[in-house]
């Protein structure tokens, strides 16, 4: 599996971008990841699904409900 290379990484446990402070994956991270995984789209889907589950753990660790937008943030854009 390709290891993602981008400066636009998540700041955990909030899951905001370290560079642009938007929700991660930000548009820059999405673009860079899509380019890197262009030949291996299934691997991108696997990577993003695993990061989504990490985000669920972090974002609900304090008892907060699971954010409703996680699928859209992490997987809906993966082609």
Q: Confidence class of residue 5 from pLDDT cuts 50, 70 and 90?
A: confident
Integer-rounded Cα Rg, in Å, for the chain is 12
pTM of the model: 0.89
What Cα–Cα distance (Å) separates residue 77 from each residue in 13, 31, 37, 63, 72?
A: 22, 10, 13, 28, 7
Whether the predicted pLDDT of 2 surpasses 80: no
Q: What is the mean pLDDT of the chain?
A: 93
Question: What are the structural domain ranges in the chain?
Answer: 11-74
State the pLDDT at residue 6.
Answer: 84
45/79 Cα distance (integer angstroms): 8
For residue 20, what are its two tokens? 């642009």
At 46-69, the pLDDT tens digits run 999 999 999 999 999 999 999 999
């Amino acid at each position: 599996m390709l290891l993602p290379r981008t400066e636009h990484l998540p700041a955990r446990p909030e899951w905001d971008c370290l560079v642009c402070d938007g929700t991660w994956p930000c548009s820059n991270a999405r673009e860079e990841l899509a380019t890197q995984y262009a030949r291996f789209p299934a691997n991108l889907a696997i990577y993003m699904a695993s990061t989504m589950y990490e985000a669920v753990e972090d974002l609900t660790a304090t008892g907060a409900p699971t954010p409703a937008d996680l699928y859209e943030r992490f997987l809906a854009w993966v082609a």
